[in-house]
Amino acid sequence: DAEADRRNPKKNQRLVEAMLEWRRPFLIWLGALHAALVALAFAALGARAAIAAATMLGINFLYSWWGKGKPLLDLLVVGAWGASYAAIAASDARLCAIVGLMTAMMHLFQIHEDRDVDAVNQVSTTAVRLPHLATLSLGTLCAGLAAVLYEPLGPVLAATAFAPLGLR
CA 123 from centre of chain: 16
In this structure, of 6-15, 56-65, 108-117, the range with the lowest mean pLDDT score is 6-15
Q: What is the DSSP letter of 67?
A: I
| Backbone phi and psi for residue 148, each to the nearest 5 degrees, phi listed first | -70, -35
The model's pLDDT over 121-168, given as tens digits with 9 standing for 90+, comes to 777 888 888 888 888 999 999 999 999 999 999 999 999 999 999 888
Beta carbons within 10 angstroms of residue 153's beta carbon: 14
- Tell me the whole-structure pTM to 2 decimals: 0.83
What mean pLDDT comes out for the span 41-59? 96
Q: What is the pLDDT of residue 1?
A: 66
Spatial CB neighbours of 79, under 8 Å, sequence gap ≥ 6: 100, 101, 103, 104, 107, 141
pLDDT in tens, 28-48: 999 999 999 999 999 999 999
